[in-house]
Homo-oligomer: A and B are copies of this chain.
Amino acid sequence: MDAGSTTTERVSIVLHSGDMDKLYSALIIGNGALAMGMEASIFFTFWGLQRLRKDDSWAMPPAGLDKGPLSRMNMLGLGKRMMQQRMDNQNVASLERLMADYRELGGRVLACDMTMDIMGVRKEDLREELIDDFAGVGTFIQEARDSAVSLFI
């Protein structure tokens, strides 16, 4: 980096997975980057985009968490409810809390428009208040090529 460089370093993440633990990692990394003065963008694609649906479980108040579809986490031998309990006991921030922090710190949320076409997801199905932009792969690549760190999660 030149001493004269004025660009802020950025972390760009493609969140392809819809697994709760992967969403968790994406937000933790995003928030960590923001806390260190970097910029952060998360591109919600494919199964990841499903986590932004209005009817998705983690978006509900805690009481509604059990109503949602089963996460793949269950298949790994650790139930969602147990995981949630552990996180509560350890004062680990909820996904909802992490997302609020992420956005407050200036983190960007991009929804993949191609995924919306394939999956038949309409804008009104999504929590638009969380989304900064609807974008395609070109936007991701443009950002990633200028990022210090790019991850596919």
Tell me the complex Cα distance, A25–B83, Å.
27
Kindly identify which residue among B31, B45, B119, B148 contacts A25, using a CB–CB cutoff of 8 Å.
B45
Decide: A140 near B29, CB < 8 A? Known: A76-B47, A151-B14, A152-B152: yes
Beta-carbon contact of B87 and A118 below 8 Å:
yes
Kindly identify which residue among B25, B69, B77, B90 contacts A46, using a CB–CB cutoff of 8 Å.
B25
Tell me the complex Cα distance, A150–B51, Å.
25
Specify the main secondary structure of chain A where it touches its partner.
Answer: helix
Task: Produce 1/0 per residue, A34-73, CB < 8 A to B.
Answer: 0110100000011100000000000000000000010010
Q: Which single residue of chain B is at the shortest CB-CB distance from A72?
A: B76
Q: Which single residue of chain B is at the shortest CB-CB distance from A31?
A: B137
Near B by CB (< 8 A), chain A positions 72-122 give: 72, 75-77, 83, 86-87, 90, 92, 114, 117-120
Chain A residues proximal to chain B, CB less than 8 Å? 9, 11, 14, 16, 18, 21-22, 25, 28-29, 31-33, 35-36, 38, 45-47, 69, 72, 75-77, 83, 86-87, 90, 92, 114, 117-120, 136-138, 140-142, 144-145, 147-153
